Amino acid sequence: MEAIFDDIASALREPRQDVWRPVRAFALDMAGKLFLAIGLGVGFRMALAG
């Protein structure tokens, strides 16, 4: 039981580095831009059509 608490304590003292953070931020940024571009494209088409 003490080993579990030792593992938790060491994990709290030394957090692991998140190596995927920049990749995830870039992917979310690109997804947002793509969503915005599709939305603007649909809006312009609806404005021109009607």
More confident residue, 20 or 32: 32
The pLDDT confidence band at residue 19, using thresholds 50, 70 and 90, is confident
CB count in 10 Å sphere of residue 10 = 9
User: How high is the pLDDT of residue 1?
Assistant: 65
Nearest 10 degrees: CA dihedral of 27, 30, 34, 37?
Answer: 160
- At residue 23, the pLDDT reads 92
* pLDDT tens digits for range 29-48: 999 999 999 999 999 999 99
Percent of the chain with pLDDT over 90: 54
